[in-house]
Amino acid sequence: MHRFILISCLLCVPIGLRAQPPVVDMHLHYKWTQQDVTSPADAIAVLDEENVVLGVVIGTPAELALALQSRAPDRIVPIFSPYREGGDWHRWAYDDTTVTRARTALASGQYHGIGELHVIGGFAPTLEKAMVLQQLLALAAEYDVPIMIHTEFSRADFMLKVCQQFPQTRIIWAHSGALLPPAAVDRVLAHCGNVWGGLGARDPWRFVDNPLTTADGMLLPAWKALLLKYPSRFMVGSDPVWPVDQLDRWDEADSGWQQLGRFWTFHRGWLAQLPKDVARQIGCQNAVDLFARSPLVKCN
């Protein structure tokens, strides 16, 4: 009788929650525009629902990431963002205080990386003139922490210059080049062993012009081949920003955390099309290794 009750109760647990393998979300935002609809406790509860065993959090302003970490110290990895408000994504590269603030943050021991730094054509200087970016790349190497860079409206050439000029710096390429095709991403990974590709927002709702999958969720052959070629060089993140058509609205809260399940359902779908050991690496272990976290974080 007791055995029957136990089996019945287990069957009452939603299959998705019971079967979901652990994952690391290496691209989480917690912004001032999200606080009204997502408290720190709410955010941790969402991670529980999706079985996210480690989350790399970018706060805007930076200290908001610490608010999440205080709720789950062994589970949240805050990285320092120079962004304090909307619009800083195109001002940071010209701000003389950016490097000083980053050094102070890393020296505090509270932050374990730098990013996400938007380097977008039309707004950012070339690498030769990007003195703030160059100093941050050197600072990341000095403190031995990763730095996350978002390039867009560019070729692979920019990232190649960055990674070759700073070979001691561990670089996370947010969205794996955004609109770039697999061949361009391959070119960077082949030449720079210090670059890891993040696959946040490579989904049907954001970077729609160069998706990972077909409309029915099947991994495109070129992307699948690239993931199998570099199983230790890719990671997955949700990049919980929503709605996507306008960032940091003044009259509407960002409800990205309420969409986390949507993003991870998509990612789990294509991860399941890879060999189990590769899916485990890309979905979890690579990010754990990169951020050198506690052995308490398990990907099994």
> Could you state, in order of their start, the residue ranges of all structural domains in the chain?
23-290
Look over the chain and give the mean of its residue pLDDT values, rounded to a whole number: 90
Q: Which CATH superfamily is domain 23-290 in?
A: Metal-dependent hydrolases (3.20.20.140)
Cis peptide before 116 (omega within 30 of 0): yes
Q: Which residue in 269, 166, 173, 178 sits closest to 219, CA to CA?
A: 269
User: Tens of pLDDT along 267-279?
Assistant: 999 999 999 999 9
Round to whole Å and give the CA distance between 82 and 18.
38
Q: Is residue 215 exposed (0-12), middle (13-18) or buried (19+ Cβ within 10 Å)?
A: exposed
Amino acid letter, 6:
L
Query: What residue type is 251 in one-letter code?
Result: D
pTM over 0.85: yes
In order of 72, 113, 272, the CA distances from 217 in angstroms are 33, 32, 11
166-204 tens-digit pLDDT:
999 999 999 999 889 999 999 999 999 999 999 999 999
